[in-house]
Chains A and B, each alone.
Chain A
């Protein structure tokens, strides 16, 4: 409600900026700030899921795929840059030697260019999402079908990557030295990465907000609630869905790209079925239909996982499991619903799918 007014919007963004850019760096140790940067990456993915699932009704159980694409694309650039810094142009990244690869694979070469890399991070996952989305939505695969299919996609993608020795296989890509010329080991630069992550989060939320308030946002809800009806009004419902799906993919990709320098590794273990479900859980727990719910949920889930596992290293999965069950079963609207005061009017229940 509050966010509906223009003043409210600016106040909200202002407060978030103060917390993210002022308070957090002041109060948190370098290590914790790094963790927060990592969690923020999850939150960026969550904003996209909130759009695709909360607004568009598409339960994308495979966001790990797009997250992974962005992450791997960025990681490829970082590995190339490291190799070139050490051994000059055309050098082979260190891990390839392990896999017995002596020649730089052709598809790696362009990634020595930062501009090319960033373009790919923005375009490749989005284009893939558009293609897949068209294939799936035009044929009206939806609901649980789509959910299961996207989950299988995440599984297949992870398996595919494990088999690619020229992308580090099971180990993935790690051991990055520099980020666009800056030494990653330097705490000052690590803080800079945090600021980048926080900035991207605010930008992504702003984009999502604009989409929600636009006519497109209304159309998306219409498609969610009565897809067939929308067709009879002359819209191609599939295109409407594809846009939200592609935006969600783009957000996930950007998140993955930021994640890599922050965390220092990307491997198939971070993008398969289970990580993809974790992305969803944050959104569900925060409240999928609201704008900030997914952000809060993603941060809360990641934080709770870390805190619980530090406290109870061998039994924390109980607590984690119970948390998911309790919140989703008892708070259908997620955490966000707690803050909604008494509804002014009868509002029909938000559609589940």
Chain B
């Protein structure tokens, strides 16, 4: 017997989420092994902290939240497999996690086909909006564009682009090129290295001889260590050629060595040093839970926030059912460590405050510039004329 053919309606799969008892299960799906474990284990910790706090405060709808953890093993297919397992075998009400866009794209059909929910906590390249995903990290207009605005404001007239060879840097650089053209900034070079590459002598020498006003860095992970060391060694400094990075957070600074990166810039929505009562509480709780030597970072904060946003939405809807949560999402807000975040019901993204940070000698990032209040998400860059043609997907 054959099933549904193209064009015919497929009967939605029945959800097996069981809310009859006094617990409710959620999934935590992050890479605990493989190359991405370096970043994603921190997100797992933040999710666990939020769940613990929520339970201590009485749970969601009076039910204790129980985490089912799975390892995405840094492989998109595994993310897809584990997501399906969480939904269909563990019957979780929602899943938190994912980091690379590849893993998110692998999970997206699983969540759509099984009509379930994913809360994705990492800044990404935008141009996506699924009914079944809540994006709690920044989209491009909440991170990259503010970073460019900042550079332009400080008088930068030429930039050099260095990135890892995958979708986020390539899309980011496409946006940067469009922006640069519209704002009279010259792009002097655009180089990509394979993820994990540590060989930067050629690139850094080219950067140096190009003599740009600033470097826009979309390198990911370990490559940053080699890049910044090489950068410092050929005598380039934050004074004469600052580097604006969008993937270096507190966790990475330690590995790079603060002496190699002091004074350089980063663009995020959150730093451990953000001065707000909510953040003080968050940092304290995190250190109490995982050790005083641990630091908090933007993706961790977004993951932490995502659990609270889910809880708040469920409370508002009065139900764990996916349709009810989707319906209730618009306008749900949370007083998060980065400031107030509000869910946008249309795009399933959240409002975020953009911050440019400078890396200081203590290894932490300090805000040197901040957007005037939270920025509305615009994943398809519809509000930017110069970006016309970049994001008219759907």
Contacts and interface: CB of A to CB of B under 8 A. Distances in A.
Interface of A: 29-31, 34-35, 38, 85, 94-95, 97-100, 159, 162-163, 165, 169-172, 174-178, 181-192, 263-265, 267, 269-270, 306, 309-310, 313-314, 316-317
Interface residues on B, range: 35 or more
Contacts, number: 151
Contact of B70 (A95, A170, A181, A309): A309
Contacts of B392: 97
B165 A170 contact: yes
B73 A175 contact: no
Nearest to B127: A98
Given A186-B10, A264-B106, 19 more contacts: A34-B84, A38-B81, A97-B392, A99-B170, A100-B390, A162-B166, A162-B195, A170-B101, A170-B166, A170-B195, A174-B105, A182-B4, A182-B6, A186-B4, A188-B1, A189-B4, A267-B102, A270-B75, A309-B71
Interface of B: 1-8, 10-11, 13, 32-33, 69-71, 73-78, 80-82, 84-85, 88-89, 100-102, 105-106, 108-110, 112-113, 125, 127-128, 165-167, 170-171, 174, 192, 194-195, 390, 392-393
B237 to A, nearest CB: 32
Nearest to A158: B194
A185 B88 contact: no
A313 B29 CA distance: 10
Nearest to B1: A188
A263 B393 contact: no
A174 B109 contact: yes
Contact of B76 (A183, A187, A269): A269
Given A94-B393, A313-B70, A170 B10 contact: no
B1 A100 contact: no
Given A171-B105, A178-B6, A187 B13 contact: yes
Contacts of A190: 3
Given A170-B195, A177-B6, A183-B10, A309 B106 contact: no
Given A100-B174, A100-B390, A178-B6, A185 B113 contact: yes
Interface-centre pick from B70, B82, B102, B125 (highest chain A CB count, 10 A): B102
B194 A189 contact: no
Nearest to A34: B84
B71 A313 contact: yes
Contacts of B7: 85
B106 A314 contact: no
Contacts of B166: 162, 169-171
Nearest to B164: A170
Given A163-B165, A169-B167, A314-B32, A267 B76 contact: yes
B125 A185 contact: no
10 contacts: A172-B76, A174-B109, A183-B3, A183-B5, A188-B1, A190-B3, A265-B105, A270-B77, A309-B78, A314-B71
Contact of A176 (B70, B102, B109): B109
A35 B84 CA distance: 10
A267 B106 contact: yes
Nearest to A163: B165
Contacts of B10: 183, 185-186
A332 B100 CA distance: 39
